[in-house]
Copies of this chain bind each other. A is one copy, B any other.
């Protein structure tokens, strides 16, 4: 009976949103977890928002449910994180719109158990991984004859940024560096998005 079930093919549960794959029972669950037609989750960092929906609805959701998130237009903007010295874990979030796409800029402050504080800055595209592959982003801290730069491919909001931040696959810096570049407790991060040919 099990053998028969393994030979049968079932359509992906995201068939209605466009997936045409049919899979054996064993592969089906695994595929559906990463299927590019699965619904998007709210891209805000942290797990406080449980919204899910289609890609086209993500910006509408953000504009309604997260009205405090600023959007700047252009491929070259400044992401200003204010009061970076406030204690505790904090997220700074803003949107950047360019090239007909929306990107979420995230600066996350984490306090490790030994009192060591780290900042993680990353960019994610509101879109699929395939779409993200066409872009590159640059984050730059500037000042006092110093410059720290991180360049990478944006994360897809389908993948989320948590694993990248956990694995330091983003711009990482500690409090000393933040102080070097901050002005009166406010840290400006130059963000540039570009198209990769």
Which chain A residues have a beta carbon within 8 Å of chain B's beta carbons?
Answer: 112-114, 116, 136, 145-153, 167-169, 171-174, 176-177, 180
Contacts and interface: CB of A to CB of B under 8 A. Distances in A.
B149 A145 contact: no
A128 to B, nearest CB: 17
Contact of A177 (B113, B168, B180): B168
A97 to B, nearest CB: 23
Query: Of residues A114, A146, A180, which shows the largest number of chain B Cβ atoms within 10 Å of its Cβ?
Result: A146
Contact of A149 (B113, B148, B153, B169): B148
A147 B136 CA distance: 11
A177 to B, nearest CB: 5
A168 B176 contact: yes
Contacts of A153: 145-146
Contacts of A147: 149-152
Query: Of residues A112, A136, A150, which shows the largest number of chain B Cβ atoms within 10 Å of its Cβ?
Result: A150
A106 B30 CA distance: 46
Contact of A114 (B112, B172, B176): B112
A148 B169 CA distance: 10
Nearest to A166: B176
Contact of A172 (B145, B151, B174): B174
Contacts of A112: 114, 116
B152 A149 contact: no
